[in-house]
Amino acid sequence: MTTATSPRDLAHPARDEIRLEGVLHALSDPMRLRVVRELAATGAEVSCSSIELPVTKSTTTHHFRVLREAGVIRQTYRGTAKMNGLRRDALDALFPGLLDTVLSAAEGQAARLNAP
């Protein structure tokens, strides 16, 4: 894991440190999966506050930290905002098709649960 050199630098695992079990654990929580789905749909970096979760701010921070530490997202500070981007290139290189399969399954599940 890259270490933070200042409070504004956040530690992220290097690509070769990302582990399948960590990624699967991070994606197993509905709130974290929701964050990943929104980042994938956006295709760009977004601030933490632009992704609304029905949980407290501290719980939201926890979910983003789990995703970052698993190597699913990259977080960087831009001014006062913490920006989040999906590490799609790293995940696709390490686990080909995993992210697309999970996102597709999540979409299908959401459609089933919201169907009349």
Residue 90: φ, ψ to 5°: -65, -45
Residues 6+ apart with CB under 8 A from 23: 70, 71, 72, 91, 95, 98
CATH number of the domain located at residue range(s) 15-104 in this protein: 1.10.10.10
> How much is the pLDDT for 9?
84
Below-50 pLDDT ranges, the chain? none
Contact 33, 106 (CB under 8 A): yes
Q: What is the pTM of this model?
A: 0.90
DSSP, collapsed to helix, strand or coil, labels residue 1 as: coil
Sorted by where each begins, the domain ranges of the chain are 15-104
> How much is the pLDDT for 8?
76
Tokens encoding 97: 């098709």
